[in-house]
Each structure stands twice: as C-alpha cells, then as structure tokens.
C-alpha cells in the first residue's frame, strides 16, 4: 500500500526541480524554498498528518520527510549557484576593458595651507625646524614675557579675546618663541606656523581669525644683516628672482631695533600701481632683533646670546601670490572659489 505523504513529497520535489531549473533570479528560488521548507510550507503542513498513520507508515513518511528536506536544500543551493555564476559571466561579457576609467573627484589644499606648507619648506631648507604651541594662552606668554607694557593697546579687551579665567586666544604666534626658549638651551632656530585671533572688524584685508608664521633665531653674534638675508631669500623663493625687500624702522615691544619689511610689488614689478598705492612696495609684516628683556625673561644671558625674530601674515602672502583682493574669500568655503587652486 502506497504512503500518501511520501507520494506528495516526491511529487512536490519533482515540481520544485522543474521550477528551479527555469529560475532566473534569487526571488524565483526563494519562492520554491518557502513553498516546501517554509514555516507554512508543504513539509510543515504534512507533519500534522503523521498522527493518522500506522507505525510502519510513520516510519516511511519520516524517511520521506528527511530525504525531501535534504533534496530540496540541494536543489535550492544548486539553483542559486547557477544564477550567481550566470550573472558574473554576463557582467564580464558586458564590461569593455578598453573604455577609459572614471576619475574620482579629489580634494585640493586650501590656499592658506599651501602657503604654510611652501613657507615651512623654504625655512626648513635654511636650517629652521617647526615648533608649535597652544592657541589658548596665558597673559605671561602672550604679553609679559614678550616685554609688552601693561598699558599697551593690544592687551585691551577690545583687541583681545579673553576667557573668564584670565586666559586668552593668542593674538600672535610669538608665544611659541617663549615656550621654545623656556624648554631649550640656545642656539635656537625655529619657525612656528599657526592660527591667531584678534578682535577686529572683518573687511577686505582684516579678519578676527588669521594665520602667522613666526621665525626665531638665537645664537652668538646675530645681527640685523642676518635677518635681512633670510627675509630676502624667503621673498625670492615665494615670489621669484625679481622681488626685492626693504626694511623700515618701526616699534615692537619684543624687538629692538624693530623693522617693518616690504616686498616690491609683484603686480607692477615695483613701478607703481593701485595695489601698492603707486609706491612700488607691499607691506608684509614686522621683524627685528630680539629685545634683551625677552632673553632675560626666559633665562638667556643677553651678553652672550643675540637673535632675530620675524612674523609673516599667511593670508597676506596668499592674497599677493594668488591675486586675491578680499581676505574673506579665504573663509567663505565657496567651492567655486577654492576649485581654482
């Protein structure tokens, strides 16, 4: 006597084999699997009929259940493998290896970062090393140690960002000089690029957030002539052989003598134009011989050691180098502007 459950299982397997052979996607295979092996599939529904069978029939049905489940899984796995292999073969057939590749968009350096990197590279070639310091400073390192008088305008809260605990956002990178000299015996030869902050009204040439690169050299017998030679070399490296520099007397609390230095106008080659106000020169930054009081504040003997310091405005150099007429363009994150560099 035939077993009805075993017959249904065998019949279902034959039908499943036919459907899986014709399946063209994973969804077709999954439909067959659910029909037989799912929680509400054929095998699950037939298991409820086992109680009505005799002992011998239950044994035969159990064998049919196990065989059917294993066979169905084999058919499903084989169908999935076939579909996957066919898809790979189709991709290879459709892919033309002779077509040009698609370039992925890449980022670019910001012009300020480019100028910092180029400036650091120049000074490294001249024997300087890079130093760094905190952007949140104390009054001693930002003012006192740099020989800045108590009544100096730069200390005023209208010019400097103070915190409630008395600390401040550094107004220059010069505090890095002090921290370096406090922790290193002379000679010292460093440059310190970094961000600075001052209370200022933003316009085409001013910003409350800007970058400087500070330079310091302390050694025996250092003179203003040594400073001029370094600044001249830097100007040539950044703007070409035709550029010249000039030093003008000035005052800074931390240098004596102090100078402001100018580059010959790169727009008109020094002949005079609207950019340089027809003077032929462009003001860059300040410099000078390190004041003896600054050396004393860090424990250096000014009778033995002398040196020079200089500060360069990175945005100022970037504006000259790339012919940018408004400093605010550097911070507006306009992709159309930044894509030019």
Give the residue from 59, 61, 56 showing the smallest Cα distance to 46.
61
What average pLDDT does the segment 282-295 reach?
A: 90
Are 282 and 207 contained in the same domain?
Answer: yes
pTM: 0.66
Are 212 and 329 contained in the same domain?
Answer: yes
Residue 240 lies in a domain: yes
The residue from 42, 68, 94 where one domain ends is 94
What average pLDDT does the segment 292-301 reach?
A: 94
Are 238 and 322 contained in the same domain?
Answer: yes
Distance separating alpha carbons of residues 133 and 216, to the nearest angstrom: 14
Report whether pLDDT(1) > 60: no
Residue 105 lies in a domain: no
- Extract the tokens encoding 131: 């130093």
CATH code of residue 129: 3.30.930.10
Distance separating alpha carbons of residues 282 and 257, to the nearest angstrom: 21
Planar angle of CA 69, 71, 77, nearest 5 degrees: 100
What average pLDDT does the segment 51-76 reach?
A: 79
Are 50 and 130 contained in the same domain?
Answer: no
Give the residue from 209, 281, 219, 286 showing the smallest Cα distance to 244.
281
Are 182 and 41 contained in the same domain?
Answer: no
Cβ-in-10-Å burial (0-12, 13-18, 19+) of 56 comes to exposed
Q: How many domains does the chain have?
A: 2
DSSP string, 49-99: TGGGS-HHHHHHHHHHHHHHHHHHHHHHHHHHHHHHHHHHHHHHHH--TTS
| 87-144 pLDDT tens trace | 666 555 566 677 788 888 777 888 999 999 999 999 999 999 999 999 999 999 999 9
What average pLDDT does the segment 139-162 reach?
A: 90
Planar angle of CA 55, 59, 60, nearest 5 degrees: 120
**Torsion of Cα atoms, 179 then 182 then 188 then 192, to 10°:** 0
Are 65 and 165 contained in the same domain?
Answer: no
Return the pLDDT at 68: 80
CA distances from 204 to 198, 201, 277, 314, 338 (A): 16, 10, 16, 15, 17
Return the pLDDT at 264: 83
| 189-242 pLDDT tens trace | 999 999 999 988 777 777 888 899 999 999 999 999 999 999 999 989 988 888
Report DSSP state, residue 187.
P
Do 268 and 290 contact (CB within 8 A), yes or no? no
Domain interval for residue 182: 111-338
Please, which residues have CB within 8 angstroms of residue 259's CB and are 6 or more apart in sequence?
224, 247, 248, 249, 250, 286, 287, 288
Are 70 and 134 contained in the same domain?
Answer: no
Distance separating alpha carbons of residues 234 and 310, to the nearest angstrom: 12
The SS3 call for residue 153 is helix
Task: Give the position of tokens 């899984």.
Answer: 73
Residue 103 lies in a domain: no
Are 88 and 216 contained in the same domain?
Answer: no
Quote the crossing angle between the two packed helices 55-94 and 26-37, to the nearest 10°: 170
Distance separating alpha carbons of residues 196 and 211, to the nearest angstrom: 6
């Amino acid at each position: 006597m035939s077993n009805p459950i075993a017959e249904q299982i065998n019949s279902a397997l034959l039908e499943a084999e036919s459907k899986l052979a014709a399946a063209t996607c994973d969804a077709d295979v999954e439909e067959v699997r659910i029909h037989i092996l799912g929680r509400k599939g054929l095998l699950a529904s037939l298991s409820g009929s086992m109680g009505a069978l005799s002992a011998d029939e239950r044994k035969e049905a159990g064998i049919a259940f196990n065989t059917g489940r294993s066979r169905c899984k084999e058919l499903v796995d084989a169908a999935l493998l076939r579909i996957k292999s066919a898809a790979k073969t189709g991709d290879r057939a459709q892919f033309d290896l002779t077509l040009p590749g698609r370039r992925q968009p890449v980022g670019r350096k910001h012009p300020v970062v480019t100028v910092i990197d180029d400036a650091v590279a120049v000074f490294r070639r001249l024997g300087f090393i890079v130093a760094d310091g905190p952007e949140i400073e104390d009054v001693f390192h930002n003012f006192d140690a740099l020989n800045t008088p108590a009544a100096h305008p730069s200390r005023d809260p209208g010019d400097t960002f103070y915190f409630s605990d008395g600390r401040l956002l550094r107004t220059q990178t010069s505090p890095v000089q002090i921290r370096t000299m406090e922790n290193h015996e002379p000679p010292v030869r460093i440059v310190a690029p970094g961000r600075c902050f001052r209370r200022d009204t933003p316009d085409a040439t001013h910003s409350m957030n800007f970058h400087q690169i500070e330079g310091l050299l302390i050694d025996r017998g250092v003179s203003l002539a040594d400073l001029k030679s370094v600044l001249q070399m830097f100007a040539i490296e950044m703007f070409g052989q035709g550029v010249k520099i000039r030093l003008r007397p000035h005052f800074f609390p931390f240098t004596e003598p102090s100078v402001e230095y100018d580059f010959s106008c790169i727009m008109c080659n020094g002949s005079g134009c609207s950019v340089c106000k027809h003077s032929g020169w462009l003001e860059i930054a300040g410099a000078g011989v390190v004041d003896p009081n600054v050396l004393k504040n860090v424990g250096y003997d000014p009778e033995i050691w002398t040196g020079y310091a200089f500060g360069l405005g990175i945005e100022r150099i970037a504006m000259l180098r790339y012919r940018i007429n408004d400093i605010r363009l550097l911070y507006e994150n306009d992709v159309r502007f930044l894509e030019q560099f």
